[in-house]
Structure 1
C-alpha cells in the first residue's frame, strides 16, 4: 500500500495510491500522524480500502503532494553511512552510527521549492532512504526491529555545509533549515518495498546525474539502525529515520559544487518514487 497526503501546504488530506490511481481516504482517517500509526491505523486502513474497492473518491494527479507523514515528533538522520560518501568527504569510517536531527520545520512536500538560507553559499544535496516507525520503540533488539517499521519514504537531506561544518557545534545548524527535508511522494509499506538492501538511488542537478548508488552499500543496515537509535531515545509512531546518502554530493567534488538560485534537482529510488525541486534563494523570495 502507498500512502499520500495531498492538497495545499498545511491543509493536506490523507489518500492512498492503488494501481497508480490516487484515492481520498479522509472520510476514514483524519491524517497520517502519530495517533494513526499508534492505533493500528495501517491494518485498519488496508481493510477499509479492500472493503471499499471501486467506491473511493479519486484525487486528481494535478493536486500537490505533501509529505506522506504529518509532522513527526522527530526526523533522525544517520551521517556517513555509505563508505564511498565517507571517503569522498575525507571522513573516517564510523565505528558506530553518527546521529543528528533535522527540525520538523524543515519538512516539506516532494516537489515544493527548496530555499537556500539567507547568506548561504554552500547548500548541498543528498538522496536518502527513509524509514518510518510504526509503533513505540524503546531498547529494541535488532532481530525484532523490522516489526517496528511502518514503511519507507524517499528523502532529500538538503544540507548547508558552511552552517554544518564551519560554524561550530553539531551538524544540526546546517541540516534543519526551512524546506531542507522534502519527503515523499509516498510512504510504501514493507510488503511492497522489495529488497530494502538493494534499492537504487539517484539524484540529478540540472539534468546531470550526480548520485547513483544503492542501499546494498549501507554500512549500518535498517534493522540495526532502528535498534541502535532506540537505545538512546524512544522512537514514536510516525518518526522518520533518514539512513544516509551515497557518494556524489557537491562537497565531494574538487572544487566543490553547490546549489544556486534557479537550479533544478531531481531524485528518486526504486519503489519510492521521484521528487523534483526548484532551488530558490531566500533573498529572491
Structure 2
C-alpha cells in the first residue's frame, strides 16, 4: 500500500493506493476529517496496524478525485531530515581514502516541497544540481540499533530529490592558513608538503537546506511492500531525457547499516526522513557526463525521479533572481 498527503479545497486529505488503480480518500474511509499521516505515525504499533488494515480492507467507494489536488510532502513536520553524503560506489572509487562509515548532513523541514511543486533556483548562486535518492520515513524510535533491528523501525519508503548547490557551498566555504609552527592535523586529506598549513571548512546549511531543495514524495510505500530496499533501480529525468540510471545496490553503505550507524549518534523519531545517497551513474554521458553537469540554473523545465516500487516524483524548475 502507498499513502500520500494532498490538499483539496484548503483541507489536508490522505490518499491511499492499494495497488488496484483506485485512489482512496482515507479521511472518508476513517470518517475522520482531521486524519493525517503525521497522526498515524503518532499511534503505537498496534493502533497503527489497525488503521492500515481498515484502509486495506475497505470495500466502499471513497474514491478521491485528484484532479484539483495539490500534492504535499508526505510528512509535514519531521524533527529532522538526514542525508547520507557521497553514499555511492562511484564516489568511493574516486576517494583518496576509502570511506569506512557513512557521513551525514541535515536539512530543515522547510526545505521540503511536494510532487508537482517548484524547485526555486537563483542563477546567481551558480551550479545547482539534482540528486535522486531513496528515502525512508521512520515509524518507531531508533537508538543504538543493530543493522538487523534497523529496518523494523522504517514505516515506509519514499523518493527524495536532494537538490544541491555547489555554488552556495563554495560561498559558504573558507580556507584558513595557520601560522607557521602550528601543526595542522587533518588526517582525512593529503597534505602538500611540510608548508601546507591550510584548514578547509565548508558549511552545508544553504547548499542542502535552502527552501524547496528537498522535493519529496508523492508516496510512502509501506515497508512490507519493499522486500529489499537495497535492490531498487533509480532513474532521473531532465524534461523527458533520462540523465541518471543507477540502483540502490550500488550504495556503499546499505540502508540498514546507515540507519544503525546513524542511530548511534542521534535518536531517530517517528516522522523523521533519512535519504541514503544519490544515483550517480550518467545515462546520457555525451550530454551530462557527471551529476554536476545537470545544472538546474541553466538546463530543463522539469526534473523527475523514479524509484522502483515507490513511484515518480516530478517537479518544475523555477529560475528567479532574489534580492
TM-score relative to the length of structure 1: 0.89
CA distance in structure 2 between the partners assigned to 1:232 and 1:184 by the alignment: 26
Segment of structure 1 superposing worse, 222-231 or 79-88: 79-88
Q: Secondary structure at the match of 1:80?
A: coil
Give the counterpart of 2:42 among 38, 63, 75. 38
CA distance in structure 2 between the partners assigned to 1:172 and 1:10 by the alignment: 31
Between structure 1 and structure 2, the one with the greater Rg is 2
Q: Secondary structure at the match of 2:205?
A: helix
Q: Indicate conservation of the 8 Å contact 1:80/1:94, yes or no.
A: no
Q: Deviations over 1:139-169 (max 9, x none)?
A: 1122211211101001111111122245223
Segment of structure 1 superposing worse, 61-70 or 267-276: 61-70
Q: Indicate conservation of the 8 Å contact 1:165/1:171, yes or no.
A: no
Q: Deviations over 1:227-285 (max 9, x none)?
A: 11111111110101010012147996398341126522122010111122211113289
Q: Indicate conservation of the 8 Å contact 2:239/2:302, yes or no.
A: yes
Q: Secondary structure at the match of 1:12?
A: strand
Give the counterpart of 1:258 among 291, 295, 298. 295
Give the counterpart of 2:80 among 69, 74, 77. 74
How far residue 61 of structure 1 moved from its aligned partner, in angstroms, is 3.0
CA distance in structure 2 between the partners assigned to 1:187 and 1:255 by the alignment: 28
Q: Please name the residue that 2:188 is paired with.
A: none
Cα separation, partners in 2 of 1:21 and 1:8, compared to 1, 3 Å? same
Count residues with an aligned counterpart: 282
4+ runs deviating over 6 angstroms: 249-252
CA distance in structure 1 between the partners assigned to 2:291 and 2:41 by the alignment: 45
Segment of structure 1 superposing worse, 189-198 or 264-273: 189-198
How far residue 81 of structure 1 moved from its aligned partner, in angstroms, is 0.6
Unaligned stretches of 5+ residues in structure 1: none
TM-score relative to the length of structure 2: 0.79
Q: Please name the residue that 2:176 is paired with.
A: none
Segment of structure 1 superposing worse, 261-270 or 106-115: 261-270
Q: Indicate conservation of the 8 Å contact 1:108/1:180, yes or no.
A: yes
CA distance in structure 1 between the partners assigned to 2:106 and 2:139 by the alignment: 19
Q: Secondary structure at the match of 1:164?
A: helix
Q: Please name the residue that 1:279 is paired with.
A: 317
